[in-house]
Amino acid sequence: MADWNAAHTQTETEVRQRLVRVAQGQEQADLLIRGANLVNVLTREIYEADVAVASGRIAAVGSGRSGYQAAEVLEARGAYLAPGFIDAHIHIESSLLTPARFAQVVRPRGTTAVVAEPHELVNVLGLEGLHWMLRAGRGSGIRVYASLPSCVPASEYELGGAVLTPADIRAGLGVPGVLGLAEMMNYPGVLGLDAGVWEVLAESLRAGGRSGTGGRRDGHAAGLSGRELQAYAAAGIHSDHEAVTPAEAHERLRAGLWLMVREGSAARNLQALLPVLRGELSGGQVPRRAMLVSDDVGVDELLSLGHLDRLMRECVAGGLHPADALALVTRNPAEYWGLHDLGAVAPGYHADLVLLGDLKDFKVLETFVGGERHFAPQSTPALSGGVVNLGPGWAHADLTVPGHWPVIGVRPDQIVTDRLTQNSATGDLTRLVVADRYGRGEVSACWAAGIGLTRGAVALSVLHDAHHVIVAGAAGEEGEASIRAAGRALERLGGGVVVHDGERVIAELPLAYAGLMTDADPQVAAAQVEAVTAALHTLGCVLPYPITTLSFLGLSVIPALKLTPRGLLDVEKWELVSREP
């Protein structure tokens, strides 16, 4: 369901006129939620109220015993009524689920809208990936908007299955449901006034002057501070989700950027940034321009821990008032993205509502999208292309690592990496291999510390952002044999995740949709993720979420070292590490 895919045959004027009649008691509502404790995120109050819903919108919010009549009455009996939750920045593909399957998991958790950043799919399939995500989102049961990927490829050191030209950016910003430009990851290009990067920004700046779309430009300012951060904001960037310390977060707020506090499977920043959300760095004032986002979160974690409901639990446990925690996933993201009829329980707003049992655990009793309590998702649209093709040279590709090369230090709970030496790295070294998945034959290898594989290998077709194939395997000849076997097994599967022990497949996760997503039942997908994780742990892997962590080891815009098919990239120096000592 989405604004541009109206659920009712009435015109906007007819809907508004009906709301006027219902609000005055001249016509009965479709639904009346009676006797709720309303959490008003606009005024930070909690009070008893009745809410009348008509034609998918809120007609009126009355005091208790308001006298409104409706075809259906839901007795809230003191449960807490809040706006539906909005994730302002998420890559649905990282859940490994199609939009309908993703919605199947998060809607019961209170999520009613997301702003998807489909740069995984767009890097593989181009603008068709954007159109497919929006089509699939319209039949999912939640509102799926999108931001347009700004960096396809992510940098000059990556090349996936597509390149978005300035003309593509112009066309994409005009697509209904696209709310703005997605995270500008190539900050070196922004600061260095790279012509190609600024052509993209110019299209967005022009679109921001037109009505409808293009007004927002998400940021991606990992590690920037001081003059560089000032320059990045001055370029016309509006937000950032890469702050990892309170000082970084506060500096971004001071610079006028909206702060997206990220808590996902690969990067967990909420606990570190709670002091900022409590206002400890701003004289006790809770920041008005802040949001909670998940960015990348796996299906297993969504099912076991939750979505935005989990983040609010952590906020309240960390000292935030429940209304402030709710504002971080309702009012604030709606205001940021210009979704003026979402994010609050007020007359005229969409009836995207959540009925909660309490304001501590945020147990969801009912979720409404457009006033509907139940929704049968439509079938997922077909998606062709994006299969894995390693090319004929894979069997004999050079997997040697130059002796002078640094080692990627992998952190289990972050997407940034460390730069280590082969002498300083502790524990077992794992061989990483990244191979072009689009048949161009480029392959590169390096060493990594912190993965822990002592035998076997795992191959994935999920590798941000170009989504080449990454294979991690044990050192030595047996490990190399497993690496080659896992790559071929992944190619036969068409995409997904394959774990090899020697010549034997011991676990796999098929991802039939562009090698990124599955349309399987979420419980089945989660069981496959758990089987892959368990298999890797038997091979010595020490990462708690290995699929997610490994999938970021090729992202060329996140420090310090990343591996691409062209070679090992020193992100801080912005150059490939030379093969010559």
Banded pLDDT at 461 (limits 50, 70, 90) = very high
For the segment 314-341, what is each residue's pLDDT rounded down to a tens digit? 999 999 999 999 999 999 999 999 999 9
1 or 383, which is more confident: 383
Answer whether 137's CB lies under 8 Å from 121's CB. no
Answer whether 391's CB lies under 8 Å from 546's CB. no
Does residue 284 register a pLDDT over 90? Answer: no
Flag the least confident range among 120-124, 228-232, 262-266, 403-407. 262-266
For the segment 168-183, what is each residue's pLDDT rounded down to a tens digit? 999 999 999 999 999 9
Q: Return the pLDDT at 346.
A: 98
pTM: 0.93
Distance from the first to the final alpha carbon of the chain: 57
For the segment 500-519, what is each residue's pLDDT rounded down to a tens digit? 998 899 999 999 999 999 99
The two structure tokens encoding residue 426: 């502790």
Banded pLDDT at 268 (limits 50, 70, 90) = confident
**Helix/strand/coil (H, E, C) string of 461-521?**
CCCCCCCCEEEEEECCHHHHHHHHHHHHHHHHHCCEEEEEECCEEEEEEECCECCCEECCC
Flag the least confident range among 222-236, 256-270, 314-328. 256-270
Q: Roughly what angle, to the nearest 10 degrees, separates helices 308-317 and 270-277?
A: 60
Does residue 533 register a pLDDT over 50? Answer: yes
Does residue 2 register a pLDDT over 50? Answer: no
What's the maximum distance between 2 C-alpha atoms anywhere in the chain?
Answer: 82
CA–CA separation, 396 vs 435, rounded Å? 12
Does residue 3 register a pLDDT over 50? Answer: no
Q: What is the CA angle 515-521-522, rounded to 5? A: 80
Q: State percent of the chain over pLDDT 70.
A: 97
Query: What average pLDDT score do residues 248-258 get?
Result: 97
Give the side-chain half-sphere CA count within 13 A for 539: 31
For the segment 398-410, what is each residue's pLDDT rounded down to a tens digit? 999 998 999 999 9
Flag the least confident range among 12-16, 490-494, 504-508, 557-561. 557-561
Answer whether 271's CB lies under 8 Å from 318's CB. yes
For the segment 83-118, what is each residue's pLDDT rounded down to a tens digit? 999 999 999 999 999 999 999 999 999 999 999 999
Q: Return the pLDDT at 472.
A: 98
Highest mean pLDDT among 8-17, 305-314, 548-557: 305-314
CA–CA separation, 415 vs 468, rounded Å? 17
Computed over its alpha carbons, how large is the radius of gyration of the chain? Answer: 24
Nearest to 482 by CA among 430, 529, 442, 439: 430
Q: Return the pLDDT at 502.
A: 85
Does residue 212 register a pLDDT over 80? Answer: no
Q: Return the pLDDT at 146.
A: 97
Banded pLDDT at 8 (limits 50, 70, 90) = low
Query: What average pLDDT score do residues 451-474 get?
Result: 96
For the segment 339-364, what is each residue's pLDDT rounded down to a tens digit? 999 999 999 999 999 999 999 999 99
Does residue 214 register a pLDDT over 60? Answer: no
Does residue 210 register a pLDDT over 60? Answer: no
Average pLDDT of the chain to the nearest whole number: 93
Length of the chain: 581
